[in-house]
Amino acid sequence: MRRSVSTGVFLVTLGLAIVGLDGVAGKATASAQSTPETMAVKIDNFTFGPAELTVKAGTTITWTNRDDIPHTVVSSDKAFKSKVLDTDEKFSSTFRTPGTFSYFCSIHPKMTGKVVVQ
Amino acid sequence: MSENESELLHDHNDDGVDRRGFLKCMAWAGTGAFLVMQAGVLKSYSLSKMPKLGPKSSGELSFAQISDSHMGFNKPANTDVAGTLKAAVDRINGLATPPEFILHTGDISHLSKSEEFDTVDQILKSASARNVFYVPGEHDVLDDDGKQYLERYGKGATGAGWYSFDTKGVHFIGLVNVLNLKAGGLGTLGGEQLKWMEDDVRHLKHSTPIVVFAHIPLWSVYPAWGWGTEDSAQALAYLKKFGSVTVLNGHIHQTMQKVEGNVTFHTAASTAFPQPQPGTADSPGPLKVPAEQLKSILGITDVTYVRGKHALAVVDSSLA
């Protein structure tokens, strides 16, 4: 009896997971069709890499923290601000307006970076 | 005396002293290594080479410092930070002279999660010293500008959590230098806190021993890694009139001492994981050491104040 109940729960969970995957795949296809630019910045060894990035307006940048220590991505003018990113966590921001955006890690402020949007 | 303890004794009453004399020492608790880089006239000793201080003299104040417990950290540098914090408490409970209280110099938690603070609170309940005085580290104020920290630990404190108290004639000042950090900058105390501190010490006698504790070092240990505080010079200027000032910090996960004039600076080891010596790695990220060596570079600090001598004996003990 107990066994059949837990199997049922498992199947429901699996079903949700499949729906979730479908949703992600559909979104990715739609994005590919409108060909927006995506760029990546890795956080490694207390450094944003690349520290400076020049992109077209409309580009989405994703930061990934690859350190064993949490970091944040916070623009100096507060235009964008991530929650704290633990190891392997990501933060994305889409840059729609041209300009230069300086940012830093609010926990380790010696870590700085810049996004130039054209 | 075991090899994993080292002691610095700075006697500020040593007259005829060139008080601008500069002494920079660096000690890794646990290895027994103790390096005097430049000897000034202020004295420092390794305990293995000097008689132990008489611990039973009257009017003495002993307290312990722990730091950087980073509860919640679970990466290879230490997958059991609760275990090493417990070992630190055991170490404190085993001290020959029981400390009257414990200072925790920040980074209590790793990610400012309430369950991480809960775990530390629970472990520290088994310490023989009932009172624990805290200052926040940058890991304790993530995402909420220190609101949770202030609610948990800031009762009776001013501003973002700074405060002072007196015990046995010694004036303790707990400072907050991990909030409102500016891009490219270091730790920051800020104008409001500096003003408070100036008022806090204004009416104290010059002979009052002062102990200042804060998370990020109040001296420039290694600014390239952010190991310093932008406006610490202003804070230290308020303390120039005092004969004995001791500054206790954490943040850099290793013990280091420096004496400059009337001020002794000391950083404590972490109870969680070590960090590299300044400039010896690409970044200040956690240092991975073989498991059997880990406890030899984690530790606690035991501080003894001997009344009348204005000397603070600072003993770093590893957890090994």
Q: Say if A47 is an interface residue toward chain B (CB within 8 Å).
A: yes
Lowest mean pLDDT among A77-86, A95-104, B45-54, B202-211: B45-54
For residue B316, give Cα distances in angstroms to A93, B255, B298, B304: 46, 8, 10, 12
Strand partners, A65: A43
- For chain A, what are the domain ranges? 1-35, 38-117
Tens-digit pLDDT profile for residues A93-102: 999 999 999 9
Q: Nearest-CA distance from B226 to chain A in Å?
A: 6
- Inform me whether the C-beta atom of residue B224 falls under 8 Å from chain A C-beta atoms: yes
Distance of alpha carbon B135 from alpha carbon B159, whole angstroms = 12
pLDDT in tens, B234-266: 999 999 999 889 899 999 999 888 888 888 898
Kindly report the nearest CA distance between residue A108 and chain B, in angstroms: 7
Evaluate if residue A10 carries a pLDDT over 70: no
B155 Cβ contact partners less than 8 Å away, ≥ 6 residues apart? none
* Cα–Cα distance for residue pair B149/B25, rounded to 1 Å: 33
Q: Measured between CB atoms, which of A45, A83, A86 is closest to B283?
A: A45
Q: Which tens digit of pLDDT belongs to each residue from B23-33?
A: 223 332 222 22
Sorting pLDDT into bands at 50, 70 and 90, what band is B100?
confident
Q: What is the pLDDT of residues A80-90, one digit of tens each?
A: 999 999 999 99
DSSP-based three-state secondary structure for A97? coil
The verdict on B138 touching A (C-beta cutoff 8 Å) is yes
User: Does the pLDDT value for residue B128 go beyond 80?
Assistant: yes
Write down the ipTM of this complex.
Answer: 0.79
Instruction: Check if A46 contacts B (Cβ < 8 Å).
Output: yes
All structural domains of chain B, each given as residue ranges with its CATH number in brackets, are 5-22+42-54+156-281 (3.30.750.180)
Chain B CA closest to residue A111:
B184
**Can you give the pLDDT at residue B1?**
36
More confident: B264 or A47: A47
Cβ–Cβ below 8 Å for A67 and B285: yes
Chain A contacts of B110, Cβ < 8 Å? Answer: 70
Preferred mutation among A71, A80, A81, A107 to probe B, highest tally of B CBs within 10 A = A107
CB contact under 8 A, A84 and B112: yes
Angle (nearest 5°) at CA B55 between B50 and B61:
120
Q: What local confidence, expressed as pLDDT, does residue B310 receive?
A: 53
Architecture of domain A38-117: Sandwich (2.60)
Residue B66: its H or E element: strand B61-66
Residue B164 to residue B256: CA distance in whole angstroms? 24
- Look at residue A8 and tell me whether its pLDDT is greater than 50: no
